[in-house]
Structure 1
Amino acid sequence: MLPLVLLPLGAVAACGGEGTTTDCSLNACTVTFDRGVDANASILGVKAELVGVQGDNVTLRIGGQQVTVPVDGQQQVEGLNVAVQSVTQDNVVVKISGGGEGG
């Protein structure tokens, strides 16, 4: 019975998607979005998509809600903390973590 209890926890923390590379722990994921493609990932139970980059501002869609976050800045959306770590010509690195403690 114990493995059945643990299975949903693993599914909630799972990461993955198209045009992205993810590195996830139990309550946070660092996502590298490829620029110039339809990049998205399923992170901590919600879909995260790269919408666009304008200068130092990154626009993301997290769980259906659009948010603009500056490089080295962070916002809370859908109960998650979204921080943009870097933007290059080729990709955007974002850390998404639980909105509660830690991160």
Structure 2
Amino acid sequence: MNTAAPRIAALFTSAALGLALLAGCSSDNVSCGLDQCTVTLERSTSASASVLGVEAKFVSADANTVTLEVAGEQIQLTKGQQAVDVAGLQVTLDSVTADNVGFVVSR
């Protein structure tokens, strides 16, 4: 009995699924793992990224709080705060600098 063909088919299916998950991150400013992406946006009103199937846009920031629009919903994040749920995803603030904001989006 030849068992190599089903194993090869399963391998290709797994590889295609992995690539599809990583394709959820489509910007140069997005770095993804299996179920989580780290996003870095410039602090400008036109900065945005497509991540895990949703659009994330920078709205505003001050020293402690960042406002983002994720999947059409505005959320406010502060460093160290628990994740905010939006569109079935968890969003947490990673960093705030004079030029950029960094945040993590996970499933």
TM-score over 0.5 (shorter chain): yes
- Cα RMSD over matched residues? 2.1
Match of 2:91 among 82, 97, 102: 82
Which is further off, 5-14 or 59-68? Answer: 5-14
**Shift in alpha-carbon separation, 1:29–1:61, aligned structure 2, 3 A:** same
Q: Does 1:55 align with 2:63?
A: yes
Match of 2:103 among 74, 87, 94: 94
Larger strand share, 1 or 2: 1
Aligned positions, number: 96
Bigger Rg over Cα: 2
Instruction: Structure 2: give runs of 5+ residues left out of the alignment.
Output: 1-8
Structure 1 segments of 4+ aligned residues over 2 angstroms from their partners: 1-14
Q: TM-score, normalised by structure 2?
A: 0.75
Q: Deviations over 1:42-99 (max 9, x none)?
A: 111111111111331111111111111112222111111101011000100101000x
Instruction: Structure 1: give runs of 5+ residues left out of the alignment.
Output: 99-103
2:26 and 2:67 map into 1 onto residues whose CA distance is 19
Amino acid at match of 1:48: A
Q: Give the secondary-structure state (helix, strand or coil) at the position aligned to 1:30.
A: strand
Larger helix share, 1 or 2: 2
1:32 and 1:54 map into 2 onto residues whose CA distance is 16
Amino acid at match of 1:85: D
Please tell me whether the aligned partners of residues 33 and 50 of structure 1 are also in contact (alpha carbons under 8 angstroms).
Answer: yes
What residue is the counterpart of 1:25 in the other structure? 33
Q: Deviations over 1:25-48 (max 9, x none)?
A: 121100011112511111111111
Q: Give the secondary-structure state (helix, strand or coil) at the position aligned to 1:72.
A: coil
Deviation of 1:5 (Å)? 7.8
